[in-house]
Each structure stands twice: as C-alpha cells, then as structure tokens.
C-alpha cells in the first residue's frame, strides 16, 4: 500500500491542532497508510529538501511562513495568488501547488455569525491570516479598514469613535495565543457595543483576553476553532480529490 505523507510547517508549533485533527481522521476512516508530521522550523533554510520528501502528498503552512513559502512553489490557486499567502500545499505530478483555505474557513465562520447590520469592518493585523480576511470581505463587498503596528491607523491612534462606527471586528494577530493567554492588544474596548460582532481567529485558548473584554461590552463573539476545522476539511479535499 502506497504511503501518503502529510504534515505542517511552522515555527514553535509543538501544540499543532492539525496533527491531532488528521491523526484522529486517519483512525476514524481506518487509513493505515497515512502519516502526519510536524516540521517545526526556525526559518526556511532547508525547505527545498523537505519539499522533495518522497511520498509527500500535502503540507499545511502556518505562522510565520504563509507568505515566505510562495517562491518555493510552482503554482498558486486564485485565492492564494490574490492574498499572497498559502496555508495548504498539494504535491501532484511533480507540481507543488499552493492554496489558501483560510479564505474558505473564514468565509464559513463569517456567514455563520454575521447579520446585515455588520456592514463595515476593522481588521486587526496585516499578516497572512489578515490577507485571507481581506479577500473574503472584498468578495462580500464589506468595506474595511486595517489596523497594524506599521499602518497610519495603528494601536496607538485607534479611537473608540472609529470602533463604534465599524460593527464587525476581526482580530488576526497571534497576540493572546497559548501560552501567553493574558496578553491582549491595546484596543479601545469602550467603543464596542452589543451591536458588534467580534471574531478572534485564535483557537487556543477558546476565550482570549480580547474576546472576554469584548463580551463584557455585550458584543457577539466567535473564536477561530470553526474556521480551523473548515480549512482542515478543505485541505483534506484538496489533497485527496484534486
């Protein structure tokens, strides 16, 4: 039986959700010939060797390599090209093709929770995950502004008035991720009301400091777990049925 190797590349990812998720899946489907490995890399210096691993079917890519991996790939899907970020690679017929299934996962999350009144957004962060969020908002014609440390609009000058005018807020930075669960972005929470929808893409912990503070103001909140499950299922479909 031919071996099928999957895995994830990222930095400091010993906690990886994906390994357990896919190993549980192999068990449920009784797939003895699949394996899922964690490649915890400090940088991409040896990546060419890894990408030539025999029997490699697919890889997940996570922080901080979603954008840096692009030059090593042969092809990009439409959404990977437009976002400039890849979180899923398919190895087929000697071609390494990059996809962005964060787009799919975030869209499913947004459609599950959004009301028509959530008609303009603030995106916190400007990395690979934020690029997927920007893409989805553009597809749904939801105007947005982006806040990041290096933008004109940053965490020092974001006001509660601006927050009050944007009922959809998506937190795309890793601030508050396990083990640094008490960390929280500097943010004018007094601008948040019960009309707000707050989506924090972090899934570990379930409730970040950011989500807790937003919930105290009566906002509807969602974390990144559903997005993570949905993008994982999309990855599985790409690896096995493309």
pLDDT at 15 over 80: no
> To the nearest whole percent, how much of the chain has pLDDT over 90?
93
CATH homologous superfamily for 103-226? NAD(P)-binding Rossmann-like Domain (3.40.50.720)
Model confidence, pTM? 0.92
Sequence spans of domains, the chain = 4-100, 103-226
Domains 4-100 and 103-226 share a fold: yes
Q: Per residue in 171-219, pLDDT tens?
A: 999 999 988 999 999 999 999 999 999 999 999 999 999 999 999 999 9
> To the nearest whole percent, how much of the chain has pLDDT over 70?
100
CATH architecture of 4-100: 3-Layer(aba) Sandwich (3.40)
Long-range contacts of 126-129 (CB under 8 A, 24+ apart): 126/150, 126/151, 126/172, 127/63, 127/64, 127/66, 127/67, 127/85, 127/172, 127/173, 128/63, 128/66, 128/67, 128/83, 128/85, 128/87, 128/102, 129/63, 129/66, 129/85, 129/102, 129/172, 129/201
Q: Per residue in 124-142, is it b (16+ CB within 10 Å) or e — as a string?
A: bbbbbbbbbbbbbbeeeee
Side-chain half-sphere of 15: how many Cα atoms within 13 Å? 9
Residues 6+ apart with CB under 8 A from 186: 155, 156
pLDDT at 36 over 90: yes
Active site residue 66: yes
Q: Are 55 and 24 in contact (CB under 8 A)?
A: no
Q: Per residue in 132-142, pLDDT tens?
A: 999 999 999 99
Annotated active-site residue in 19, 66, 97, 131: 66
Residue 114 φ then ψ, to 5°: -75, 140
């Amino acid at each position: 039986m031919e071996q099928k190797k999957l895995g994830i590349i990222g930095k400091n990812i010993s906690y990886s959700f994906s390994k357990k998720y896919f190993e549980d899946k192999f068990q449920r489907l009784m797939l003895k010939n699949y394996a899922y490995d964690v490649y915890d890399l400090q940088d991409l210096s040896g990546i060419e060797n890894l990408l030539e691993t025999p029997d490699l079917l697919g890889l997940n890519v996570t922080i901080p390599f979603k954008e840096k991996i692009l030059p090593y790939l042969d092809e990009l899907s439409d959404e990977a090209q437009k976002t400039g970020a890849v979180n899923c690679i398919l190895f087929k017929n000697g071609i390494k093709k990059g996809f962005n299934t964060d787009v799919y996962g975030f869209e499913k999350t947004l459609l599950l929770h959004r009301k028509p009144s959530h008609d303009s957004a603030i995106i916190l962060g400007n990395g690979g995950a934020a690029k997927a969020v920007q893409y989805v908002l553009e597809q749904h014609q939801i105007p947005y502004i982006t806040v990041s440390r290096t933008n004109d609009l940053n965490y020092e000058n974001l006001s509660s008035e601006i927050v009050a005018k944007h009922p959809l807020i998506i937190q795309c930075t890793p601030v508050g991720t396990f083990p640094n669960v008490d960390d929280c972005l500097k943010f004018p929470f007094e601008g948040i009301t019960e009309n707000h929808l707050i989506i924090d893409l972090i899934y570990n912990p379930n409730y970040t400091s950011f989500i807790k503070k937003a919930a105290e103001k009566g906002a509807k909140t969602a974390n990144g777990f559903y997005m993570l499950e949905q993008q994982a299922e999309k990855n599985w479909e790409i690896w096995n049925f493309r």
